[in-house]
């Protein structure tokens, strides 16, 4: 049996040592958490959908020349990525007022912002990821001035690309969160997009009905999370059109992956993680 070394067990993902130096296997779990994991549930099939949606987005970003850690998807729950030194920031870009911005500034959810706004949060669970300024980031050395410029420009370019991508399939990109990392080559490092981009880390609203197609369905106890994520996957062409959004024992019918043999729950056959 193939035993792999587990490097990190996170809220929604596990990282394993990759097959070659400088690579990592990123495994998407079915765990949904909110409010720094105070709320937690297992939602059957979420990991499979996020793996495919995030693959689609990262691959598209690679294709337009934006640097990401993504190498290739390995199976229904896992992808091979480049090992990076994670920069301890959660970077949020917002187009429409919602969530913590709406709350903090007393704004009605749904109001279009005058222009996209970027925010930085210090990645520190013990502190509930507090919002920080660029000055904090520079003063405490979490990123250099050049890195902060690169992160900001990457975040806005991703926003432009994703806004168009989702707009084309009738979805409003309200806001999203990204994480970035450093890749070292000789003595120099550059910033790449890391982690994932999925309905767990974005707010996505149906453009016509304003229906929520993202993790707010879980955060706000609305139900229908798998149906919503399936709808996003279907519109992006990842999920077969004729699949019912219902998520029975057999799991969602994803567009078949010719390279991988997998069981219906999305675990790769003969290659259990632990």
CB of 222 to ligand TMP, least distance (A): 15
**Residue 120: strand pairing partners:** 91, 132
CB of 258 to ligand TMP, least distance (A): 32
Tell which one of 41, 100, 127, 263 touches ligand TMP (CB under 6 A).
100
Considering beta carbons, is residue 100 or 261 the nearer one to ligand TMP?
A: 100
**x/- contact string, 104-143, with ligand TMP (CB under 6 A)?**
-------------------------x--------------
Piece of the chain touching ligand TMP by CB under 6 A; list 76-84, 99-107, 165-173, 226-234 = 99-107
- Are the C-beta atoms of residues 235 and 171 closer than 8 Å to each other? yes
Considering beta carbons, is residue 131 or 255 the nearer one to ligand TMP?
A: 131
**x/- contact string, 150-179, with ligand TMP (CB under 6 A)?**
-------------------------xxx--
Tell which one of 203, 212, 234, 235 touches ligand TMP (CB under 6 A).
203
CA dist., res. 226 & res. 122, Å (int): 30
| 99 binds ligand TMP per the rule CB under 6 A | yes
Considering beta carbons, is residue 81 or 101 the nearer one to ligand TMP?
A: 101
**Residue of minimal CB distance from ligand TMP?**
99
Interacting positions 238-267 with ligand TMP (CB under 6 A): none
Piece of the chain touching ligand TMP by CB under 6 A; list 69-77, 145-153, 154-162, 197-205 = 197-205
CA dist., res. 266 & res. 252, Å (int): 9
| Count of residues that bind ligand TMP according to CB under 6 A | 12
CB of 202 to ligand TMP, least distance (A): 5
| 201 binds ligand TMP per the rule CB under 6 A | yes
CB of 42 to ligand TMP, least distance (A): 18
- Are the C-beta atoms of residues 162 and 169 closer than 8 Å to each other? no
Q: Which residue has the tokens 């792999």?
A: 4
| 52 binds ligand TMP per the rule CB under 6 A | no
Tell which one of 74, 81, 92, 232 touches ligand TMP (CB under 6 A).
92
CA dist., res. 228 & res. 211, Å (int): 9
Residues that bind ligand TMP (CB under 6 A): 92, 98-101, 129, 175-177, 201-203
């Amino acid at each position: 049996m193939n035993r792999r070394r587990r490097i990190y067990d996170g809220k929604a993902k596990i990282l394993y040592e990759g097959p070659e130096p400088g690579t990592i296997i990123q495994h998407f779990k079915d765990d949904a958490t909110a409010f720094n994991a105070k709320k937690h549930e297992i939602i059957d099939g979420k990991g499979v959908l996020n793996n495919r949606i995030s693959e689609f987005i990262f691959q598209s970003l690679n294709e337009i020349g934006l640097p990401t850690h993504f190498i290739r998807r390995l199976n229904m729950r896992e992808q091979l990525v480049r090992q990076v030194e994670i920069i301890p920031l959660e970077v949020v870009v917002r187009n429409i007022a919602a969530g913590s911005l709406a709350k903090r500034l007393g704004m009605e959810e749904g109001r279009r912002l005058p222009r996209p706004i970027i925010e930085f949060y210090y990645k520190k669970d013990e502190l509930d990821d507090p919002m920080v300024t660029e000055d904090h980031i520079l003063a405490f050395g979490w990123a250099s001035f050049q890195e902060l410029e690169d992160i900001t420009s990457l975040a806005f370019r991703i926003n432009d690309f994703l806004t168009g991508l989702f707009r084309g399939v009738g979805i409003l990109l309200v806001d999203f969160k990204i994480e970035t990392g450093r890749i070292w080559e000789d003595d120099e490092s550059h910033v790449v997009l890391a982690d994932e981009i999925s309905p767990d880390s974005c707010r996505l609203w149906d453009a016509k009905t304003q229906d929520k197609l993202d993790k707010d369905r879980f955060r706000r106890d609305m139900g229908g999370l798998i149906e919503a994520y399936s709808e996003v996957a279907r519109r992006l062409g990842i999920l077969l059109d004729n699949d019912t959004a219902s998520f029975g024992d057999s799991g969602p019918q994803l567009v078949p992956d010719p390279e991988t043999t997998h069981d219906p729950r999305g675990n790769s056959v003969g290659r259990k993680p632990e």
